[in-house]
């Protein structure tokens, strides 16, 4: 009886191991927060939520304003870990306002990965740094 219990516990442990490893998921999936801006003194808070479905990178870009932009274009180059995101929100008058993000993933092996690069919101260009929470 004791051997049978040991055998069952061993099989359950093996079955649960892939689930524990899989919880980390895709390297970009999750909530990323930080700031962006046109200069070192003019910064805006930002939250980017990224999702991954099969081969599609999606999610939302919330640039700290009153609107959020759904990611319409999202690509990842896994050779050099560069990311390109495009989203469209609305400006103060309700017109379209495009956001384009180009960055590189740093600290890939860490749960607190960092994404840095350039950011363009409408005609305002700047840099950004966001960290996965």
- Among the residue ranges 3-7, 40-44, 100-104, 107-111, the one predicted with the least confidence is 3-7
Biggest distance spanned by C-alpha atoms of the chain: 73
Sorted by where each starts, the structural domains of the chain and their CATH numbers stand as: 26-132 (2.40.128)
What is d(CA 104, CA 82) in angstroms, rounded to the nearest whole number?
Answer: 4
Q: What is the pLDDT of residue 73?
A: 95
Per-residue pLDDT averaged across 48-77, rounded? Answer: 87
Confidence of residue 17 (pLDDT cuts 50, 70, 90): very low
pLDDT value at 65 more than 80: no
Of the CA atoms within 13 Å of residue 44, those in its CB half-sphere come to 19
Instruction: Tell me the per-residue pLDDT of 76-121, one tens digit each, with 9 for 90 and over.
Output: 998 999 999 999 988 888 889 999 999 999 988 888 899 999 999 9
Q: What is the pLDDT of residue 22?
A: 39
């Amino acid at each position: 009886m004791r051997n049978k219990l040991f055998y069952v516990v061993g099989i359950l442990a093996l079955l649960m191991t892939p689930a524990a490893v899989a919880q980390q998921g895709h390297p970009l999936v999750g909530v990323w927060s930080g700031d962006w801006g046109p200069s070192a003194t003019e910064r805006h808070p930002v939250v980017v939520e990224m999702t991954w479905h099969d081969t599609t990178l999606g999610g939302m870009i919330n640039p700290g304003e009153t609107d959020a932009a759904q990611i319409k274009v999202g690509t990842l180059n896994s050779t050099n870990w560069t990311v390109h995101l495009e989203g469209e929100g609305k400006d103060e008058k309700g017109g379209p306002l495009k956001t384009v993000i180009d960055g590189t993933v740093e600290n890939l092996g860490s749960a607190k990965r960092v994404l840095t690069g350039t950011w363009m919101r409408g005609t305002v260009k700047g840099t950004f740094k966001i960290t996965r929470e």
